[in-house]
Each structure stands twice: as C-alpha cells, then as structure tokens.
Amino acid sequence: MIITEGKTMTRERINPETLKQNRNRAGLSQQGLADVSGVSKKTIARIEAGKSSANTNTVRRLAEALDAKPEELSGQSGLDEREKRLSGFRTLKAPIHDNTELAFQMVEKHYGIPPRTQVVLAPLLAAILAEGSLAWRRQKLEVAEEAADTLMGADYGHRLFVVGGGSAKEGVGAEWESLEQRDVFGEKVMECAADDMGVDPEPTDPFTEYLRHLARQFGTERINVLQEHMTDEIDLWGTSAQFGAWSSLSYSINPEELDRLTGGDFWAGMALKRGHVKISDIPEDLLDDDASDKRIEWLGNKIPQDERDEIQARADEIYASF
C-alpha cells in the first residue's frame, strides 16, 4: 500500500488478460475505456501490459465502466458465461474480413459509435435497409412494367418485337415474384435470368445496387462503395453455405483517412487491418501530419516478426506463380 497526504491507498493487481477480455467484450478500445472510466489511457495500457497495479479507486472506475465487479478484474476469466446467459446476454462469434475490422474502427472514429454498438444496431439497420431496397425495386419495376406493356402493345409486324416484348414481360413477372418473396438479394430472379435468358448473375445484385444508390445520395467521399472482384473483397452477404461467398460489393469507410494514417505503407495498413493496434490507440503526438514517418514506423512495428515473415513468404509464393 502507499500513503498520500495522510491517506492510505491500497494497490491491487488487475489481471491484464481479464481487463482486455472485458474491454473487448464491451467493444471499447483503450482510449474508449479511458473516456468512459476517467482512467488515463496510459494507465490502462500499463495495466494491460502487466507493468502496473492499480489503486482501489482506479479498479472501481474501470469495473463500473465495464459493467463488472471490482473483484472480477483480478480473476482469471472475467464474466462467467453462464451468468451472462442467465442475464440474457450472448457472446457473438463470427469470422470477419480484415477490411471489416477496419471499417468498425473507422465508424467509431468518425461517428463516435463503438464496435459493440454497431453490432447491436446491425439487425435494426439490416431490416431498415432491406425494406428500403424492396421499396426502391418496386418503384423501378413499376416504370419497367409500364414500358414492357407499351412494347407488347406496339404492332410493328416483326417477330423480334414480339419476342422482345415477351422477354420484358417475363423479366417483370420474375421480379414481382422475387419481391413478393422478399428476396432481398435477388437470388430467385437472377436464377431465372441465368437459366432462361443467358444472363451472368455474378456482376451485381439488387441489394448491392441499392446500397450504392444510397451512398451516392449523401455526396460524401467517406463512404466508398465499389463493384469489383478483388482478392480482398468483403464477403458481405454470406448467403452461401461455403465460407467466402462472393459479393459484388466492396466498401471502405473514409479511405482517404486510412491513406493519411498509413501513408500507403503496406505494413502500417496490415497492423490496423489485423487488429494489432487500433486507430484510437495511436499516440496523439503521432497523429499530426508532420509525424507521418514516425507514425508509419510505429504502426509497422506492431506486427510480430514471425507474422511478417509468413505474409512475405505467401506473397513471394504468389508472385513466383506468375
């Protein structure tokens, strides 16, 4: 214990891994925990590194911020899984792409929404977007249906117009059926197109198009929605039974800020994407533009050497195959 101004303060040992588990479970970065607890980020970092104990007041504030009991922070396992289930909570586990992890961080940085809150909001936002996309498709389909009726009613005396009009009506009918089944990804109508009309269904899907349409309405460069088939493309939909199902959507949140932080450096970007460090963990003195070289070096050094070697070996193997 230590004595300060006549007061006795007890030092307590917090289990570093337990603190990390509780912080990650709460969806907080070290800076995020510092903001809600009033404990400095430097102190939190030292505790998690096993380099510092904490006084009773610090333990109490950290526990309150993490919705835990003070004694739990000194334990080995944090919150008991059975206790969480009885309280109505579940631990969500899902494999996500590196770019998705980075997107979580960017949303937190620019909109103040922690990753945990983003996950909680996901079903609500998905439902709102799904209904919006179906309504958008209905509006477009009504226009297409009117045009198809006009084409079918035109008497041009040529068989090609009859065939073309029939195909248009068939496409309209397939889309109405898709909408009635609330087929958000358009799988039903695209199967019809691929089988009967010789159309490649891979390049796009109606939900992707709707999200791209929405992103354009905002007039901001912070949300970048692309249609491309690259090796780092996000498996957004996950509708296939196989892991890694293709989506035509690739997106990034504020790519210009990422370029500024990493300077386009591969290793600096990988440190953020692979979760070795969070954007909120970058020291304030390294965030200025004139500290870019030091920031890039600091980020790159967060990747363990064995992982660097593995990434480099895989890259060399790929290049050698060409």
Does the pLDDT at position 76 exceed 60? no
Residue 160 has a pLDDT of: 56
- Assign 299 a pLDDT band (cuts: 50, 70, 90): very high
Residues of the chain above pLDDT 90, percent: 13
Residue that finishes a domain, picked among 54, 75, 91? 91
Give the per-residue SS3 of the chain: CEEECCEEECEECCCHHHHHHHHHHCCCCHHHHHHHHCCCHHHHHHHHCCCCCEEHHHHHHHHHHCCCCHHHHHCCCCCCHHHHHHCCCCCCCCCCCHHHHHHHHHHHHHHCCCHHHHHHHHHHHHHHHHHHHHHHHHHHHHHHHHHHHHHHHCCCCCHHHHHHHHHHHHHHHHHHHHHHCCCCCCHHHHHHHHHHCCCCCCCCCHHHHHHHHHHHHHCCCCEEEEECCCCCCCCCCCCCCCCCCCCCEEEEECHHHHHHHHCCCHHHHHHHHCCCCCHHHCCHHHCCHHHHHHHHHHHHCCCCHHHHHHHHHHHHHHHHCC
Distance of CA 9 to CAs 12, 64, 255, Å?
10, 19, 47
* Same domain membership, residue 126 and residue 59: no
Asked if residue 277 belongs to a domain, the reply is: yes
Does the pLDDT at position 229 exceed 50? no
Asked if residue 302 belongs to a domain, the reply is: yes
Residue that finishes a domain, picked among 189, 210, 227? 227
* Same domain membership, residue 207 and residue 122: yes
Q: The tokens 């992707």 sit on which residue?
A: 208
Give the least confident one: 102-116, 184-198, 208-222, 306-320.
184-198
Residue 237 has a pLDDT of: 53
* pLDDT: which is higher, 128 or 82: 128
* Same domain membership, residue 223 and residue 137: yes
Mean per-residue pLDDT for 163-184? Answer: 77
- Assign 191 a pLDDT band (cuts: 50, 70, 90): low
Residue that finishes a domain, picked among 227, 262, 293? 227
299, 282 Cβ separation under 8 angstroms: yes
Mean per-residue pLDDT for 261-269? Answer: 92
Residue 261 has a pLDDT of: 93
Mean per-residue pLDDT for 67-74? Answer: 79
* Same domain membership, residue 214 and residue 260: no
* Same domain membership, residue 66 and residue 11: yes
* Same domain membership, residue 163 and residue 198: yes
* Same domain membership, residue 223 and residue 142: yes
Asked if residue 239 belongs to a domain, the reply is: no
Nearest to 136 by CA among 93, 77, 184, 188: 184
* Same domain membership, residue 181 and residue 124: yes
* pLDDT: which is higher, 250 or 34: 34
* Same domain membership, residue 223 and residue 150: yes
Does the pLDDT at position 268 exceed 70? yes
Asked if residue 42 belongs to a domain, the reply is: yes
Asked if residue 240 belongs to a domain, the reply is: no
Tokens of 200: 């490649």
* pLDDT: which is higher, 106 or 70: 106
Q: Residues 13, 15, 16, 22: is their CA dihedral positive or negative?
A: negative
Cα 203 to chain center, whole Å?
22
- Assign 295 a pLDDT band (cuts: 50, 70, 90): very high
Cα 43 to chain center, whole Å?
29
Task: Tell me the per-residue pLDDT of 16-69, one tens digit each, with 9 for 90 and over.
Answer: 888 888 888 788 888 889 888 888 888 898 888 877 777 778 888 898 888 887
Asked if residue 135 belongs to a domain, the reply is: yes
CATH code of the domain in which 78 resides: 1.10.260.40
> Highest-confidence range of 123-127, 177-181, 200-204, 282-286, by mean pLDDT?
123-127
* Same domain membership, residue 222 and residue 260: no
CB atoms within 10 A of CB 237: 17
> What is the count of structural domains for the chain?
3
Mean per-residue pLDDT for 213-220? Answer: 82
> Highest-confidence range of 47-56, 123-132, 212-221, 304-313, by mean pLDDT?
123-132
- Assign 235 a pLDDT band (cuts: 50, 70, 90): very low
* pLDDT: which is higher, 93 or 210: 210
Residue 82 has a pLDDT of: 67
Q: For the purposes of burial, counting CB atoms within 10 Å of the CB of 46, is it exposed (0-12), middle (13-18) or buried (19 or more)?
A: middle
* Same domain membership, residue 211 and residue 162: yes
For residues 295 and 20, give the distance between their C-alpha atoms in angstroms, rounded to a whole number. 24
Asked if residue 96 belongs to a domain, the reply is: no
Asked if residue 109 belongs to a domain, the reply is: no
User: What residue numbers bound the domain in which 75 lies?
Assistant: 2-91
Give the least confident one: 24-38, 45-59, 160-174, 271-285.
160-174
Does the pLDDT at position 244 exceed 80? no
Tell me the pTM. 0.61
